[in-house]
């Protein structure tokens, strides 16, 4: 029997609307001393069953797994992952030879709060953002094996940096399944382009799958343009720009490891004949020193400047400063692809920061496209916080 958590009177409302989190302030009492990461049953003040979820000390105290009584066992994980897999089949991602990398599980967006699973060809990389998902990792991996069979000989858990254990437990990155001599990196295909993904040493799970559709859009604008790709990581946008017929591409990132992979990725997609140059540098500095009007297509895809609400003000200032510099430098008629992946910066706040940046530059700026994350990063309608990626494509005259 799971431990039981009773909510305060009147605090079951969010659950009635299927919001997947219970904040610690809503909890009245607990019965059975739940341990960190354990599955708990949530009941109303009157004692009625409401949901089952993973508990965790902290402001989000329970992450909901089910709104009806059930067992969180092997069959539960199999069903949940099977549902996620079928969605990716419907999206023509699973089983597509032109795009072999996709997100299979996107946390709350797949009703599995705290869990991310990315598929890179024959490799699955799992990342737990909650203690409960970390403790369940072996069962989750077993369900993955059941679904994919021999097509998935390698499952890597990369939770060391993401599980916020309070109880002094530790997570270590490890192979849960390693049926082949996988060298820690693989080559995936995305819209027909090739990319090296190093899941052991790379950032996050190894690759930023969430920009897939936006990179494709960039390719349509690239022909004949001089492209600056700021915060390029492993060169995703750069490869699409080159393959899209750019006149020249400059890629900038502060990580030299990322720049090495960028160069290898450009090499892999050798139809990319235009000149490419890689700069290991601070993007703000690089932009400040660059010649005016040297570029007429820019990508600005920085890391999350605000990781929590407290950092919001500084983050908005950073977006403003960065984009104002880009608008000031870009050639007339230039196009800027600008992004924010900070969850706490919502669409309106980001748009306002870009508005201020445009006003500072005194350029005529128009929005051509409003971008977001792709369909394999779905947003649970009851959890609008899950819409984290915001992008604007701007025409700057």
To ligand SAH, the closest distance from the beta carbon of 302 in angstroms equals 6
The C-alpha atoms of residue 52 and residue 72 are separated, in whole angstroms, by 8
157 versus 301: smaller Cβ distance to ligand SAH: 301
45 DSSP 8-state letter: T
Which residue's structure tokens are 């984009």? 323
2 versus 216: smaller Cβ distance to ligand SAH: 216
To ligand SAH, the closest distance from the beta carbon of 189 in angstroms equals 15
Cβ atoms of residues 295 and 227 within 8 Å: yes
341 versus 354: smaller Cβ distance to ligand SAH: 341
Cα 314–chain centre separation: 22
The C-alpha atoms of residue 41 and residue 30 are separated, in whole angstroms, by 10
To ligand SAH, the closest distance from the beta carbon of 99 in angstroms equals 15
Cβ atoms of residues 324 and 357 within 8 Å: yes
To ligand SAH, the closest distance from the beta carbon of 52 in angstroms equals 35
To ligand SAH, the closest distance from the beta carbon of 31 in angstroms equals 44
54 versus 329: smaller Cβ distance to ligand SAH: 329
Name every residue whose Cβ is closer than 8 Å to that of residue 252 and which is 6 or more positions away in sequence.
228, 229, 230, 231, 232, 278, 279, 281, 283, 286
To ligand SAH, the closest distance from the beta carbon of 208 in angstroms equals 4
The C-alpha atoms of residue 197 and residue 205 are separated, in whole angstroms, by 9
C-alpha closest to that of 368 among 387, 392, 397: 392
340 versus 380: smaller Cβ distance to ligand SAH: 340
Return the bridge partners of 345, or none: none
To ligand SAH, the closest distance from the beta carbon of 237 in angstroms equals 5
175 versus 280: smaller Cβ distance to ligand SAH: 280
To ligand SAH, the closest distance from the beta carbon of 212 in angstroms equals 9
To ligand SAH, the closest distance from the beta carbon of 234 in angstroms equals 6
Query: By the criterion CB under 6 A, which residues form the site for ligand SAH?
Result: 203, 208, 211, 231-234, 236-237, 252-255, 258, 282-284, 301-303
19 versus 321: smaller Cβ distance to ligand SAH: 321
The C-alpha atoms of residue 124 and residue 152 are separated, in whole angstroms, by 7
390 dihedral zone (left: phi>0; alpha: psi -120 to 50; beta): beta
112 versus 261: smaller Cβ distance to ligand SAH: 261
157 versus 253: smaller Cβ distance to ligand SAH: 253
C-alpha closest to that of 122 among 203, 202, 185: 185
Return the bridge partners of 124, or none: 119, 155
Can you spell out the DSSP letters for 233-279?
Answer: TTTHHHHHHHHTT-SEEEEEES-HHHHHHHHHHHHHSTT--S-EEEE
């Amino acid at each position: 029997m799971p431990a039981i958590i009773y909510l305060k009177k009147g605090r079951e409302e969010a659950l009635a609307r299927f919001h997947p989190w219970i904040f610690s302030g809503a909890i009245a009492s607990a019965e059975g001393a739940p341990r960190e990461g354990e599955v708990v049953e949530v009941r109303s003040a009157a004692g009625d069953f409401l949901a089952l979820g993973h508990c965790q000390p902290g402001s989000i105290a329970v992450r909901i797994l089910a709104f009806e009584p059930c067992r969180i066992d092997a069959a539960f994980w199999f069903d949940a992952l099977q549902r996620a897999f079928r969605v990716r089949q419907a999206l023509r991602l699973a089983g597509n030879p032109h795009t072999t990398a996709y997100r299979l599980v996107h946390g709350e967006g797949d009703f599995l709060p705290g869990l991310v699973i990315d598929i890179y060809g024959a490799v699955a990389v799992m990342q737990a953002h909650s203690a409960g998902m970390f403790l369940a990792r072996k069962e989750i991996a077993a369900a993955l094996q059941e679904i994919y069979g021999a097509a998935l000989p390698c499952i890597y858990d990369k939770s060391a940096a993401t599980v916020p254990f309070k109880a002094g437990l530790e997570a270590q990155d490890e192979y849960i399944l390693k049926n082949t001599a996988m060298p820690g990196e693989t080559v995936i295909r995305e819209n027909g382009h090739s990319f090296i993904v190093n899941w052991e040493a790379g950032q996050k799970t190894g690759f930023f799958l969430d920009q897939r559709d936006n990179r494709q859009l960039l390719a349509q604008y690239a022909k004949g343009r001089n492209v600056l790709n700021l915060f390029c990581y492993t060169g995703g946008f750069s490869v699409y720009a080159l393959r899209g017929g750019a006149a020249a591409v400059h890629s900038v990132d502060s990580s030299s490891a990322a720049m090495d992979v960028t160069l290898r990725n450009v090499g892999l997609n050798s139809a990319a004949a235009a000149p490419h140059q890689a700069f290991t540098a601070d993007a703000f500095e690089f932009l400040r020193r660059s010649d005016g009007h040297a570029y007429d297509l820019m990508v600005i895809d920085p890391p999350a400047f605000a990781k929590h609400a407290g950092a919001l003000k500084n983050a908005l200032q950073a977006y403003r400063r960065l984009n104002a510099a880009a608008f000031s430098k870009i050639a007339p008629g230039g196009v800027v692809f600008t992004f924010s992946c900070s969850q706490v910066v919502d669409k309106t706040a980001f748009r306002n920061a870009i508005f201020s940046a445009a006003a500072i530059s005194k350029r005529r700026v128009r929005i051509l496209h409003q971008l977001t994350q792709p369909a394999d990063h779905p947003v649970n309608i009851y959890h609008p916080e899950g819409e984290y990626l915001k992008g604007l494509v701007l025409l700057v005259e």
